Amino acid sequence: MMPKLSEFALDRRTLMAMLPASLLASNARAEDFHPVALPPGERRLVRLAVGGVADITHLAVWYAKFSGIFDALKPLGVDVEVVPFGAGSEWLLALTSGRVDMAHGYYENGVRARSQGRDVILLDNIMATPGLIIVVRSDLADKVKSVKDTKGMNWGVTSFGSATHAVALRVTKFYGLQPTDVKFLGVGGTSGLLPAMREKRVDVLCSTLVAGYQLVKEGTAKELLALVSDKITNEVYGHPYIGLGLLSSKAYSDTEPFATFQVAKAIRASIAKLKVTPAEEVAKLLPAEFQADSIVETIRATAGAFSTDGEVSLAAASAMIADMSDLKLGRGMEPEATFDNRFIRAIKAGA
């Protein structure tokens, strides 16, 4: 005789005890999560890393800094210091070594770190597309009409194992190329991407938007593929994408939930403002080192690619990690341990 369904029923406390702690953290209900304000007189300095000294890729952070959104946290006892690094591998090392507390970077970098046993988690999926562009040298454009035509060519990426490398591998595979069909060269961040193509050291670049648009605008390169829309991203990947986001460590976010929450909330406020502010106005707010011929176009494309939700689904995380494992860039971890939705849910709940 089959047991009744009710005989399998578990009370909530028993069920919660049976679930992994990482799953509980990432799926905790917003109403159960209330970061307590700092005691009067106490302050927290949050060191927030970005990969790039003046890179529009990190527009949500830069706008929060230069528009005064971060300054608005000072009365709450939270001071934010934005710390730029040359490339993703540099800020990742700083985050995992405790030299910074949080970072604005790619989920792939966090997955790679976790596969090496490091404590990195994603708190907000800020951009649900890669926000990158594939460009080819203009003098090769006549024979390269598609990514599939780049067989035998040199591809420039920021560094091996970086997000640009992971995206380039996925794109070439989608177009029927094997990893050995092209040669990948690490050329550094935006400051390295531009001269690498101008000096013809690479034929193709998986580039940040600001560098890629600049190369196209000056006539050095031609656009092959812009990964800035959900439609193109889902076509290439076959599943929702987790891209640039706000990362930290479980140790830090659990120890300093109020400071973590306030920084996450400030960046979400920055995104909301960027979605309705003309790109020309945003450009005027940024210092001279950000100014380039392609700045307005880059700001407009970046703002249009921001995720309106920010939550990470277990299905998307599992698919992203499977992709990286397939490319031998990240292995051996539970997808649910790579993200924590508590903060973004609490923001949306108006906590």
pLDDT on residue 326: 61
Q: How confident is the model at residue 331 (pLDDT cuts 50, 70, 90)?
A: low
Q: Provide, rounded to the nearest whole percent, the portion of the chain with pLDDT above 70.
A: 88
Give the three-class secondary structure for 167: helix
- The more confident residue out of 318 and 326 is 318
Q: Among 73, 93, 42, 114, which residue's Cα sits nearest to residue 268?
A: 73
Q: Is the pTM of this model over 0.85?
A: no
**Which residue is it, tokens 């528009």?**
67
For 237-284, the pLDDT digits (tens) are 999 899 899 999 999 999 999 999 999 999 999 999 999 999 999 999
Q: What is the DSSP string of 100-114?
A: -SEEEEEHHHHHHHH
- Report CA-CA distances (Å) from 313 to 23, 63, 199, 266, 316: 12, 27, 42, 22, 5
Q: State residue 205's pLDDT score.
A: 97
CA-to-CA distance for 95 and 227, rounded, in angstroms? Answer: 27
Positive or negative, the CA dihedral 312, 315, 22, 47 is negative
Give the mean pLDDT of 80-104: 88
pLDDT band at 1 (very low <50, low <70, confident <90, very high): very low
Task: Name the amino acid, one letter, at 84.
Answer: P
pLDDT digits (tens, 9 = 90+) for 163-217: 888 899 999 999 999 989 999 999 987 778 999 999 999 999 999 888 899 999 9
The predicted-structure confidence for 93-138, as pLDDT tens digits, reads as follows 899 999 999 999 989 888 888 888 899 999 999 998 998 999 999 9
Residue 329's pLDDT band (cuts 50, 70, 90)? low
Q: Is the pLDDT of residue 28 over 60?
A: no
List of domains in the chain: 22-129+241-348 (3.40.190.10), 132-227 (3.40.190.10)
Show the tokens assigned to 55: 């890179």
Q: What is the mean pLDDT of residues 205-232?
A: 92
Within the chain, residue ranges assigned H as helices are 12-18, 21-27, 59-66, 88-96, 107-115, 163-174, 190-198, 209-217, 230-237, 250-255, 257-276, 279-285, 295-304, 314-326, 342-348
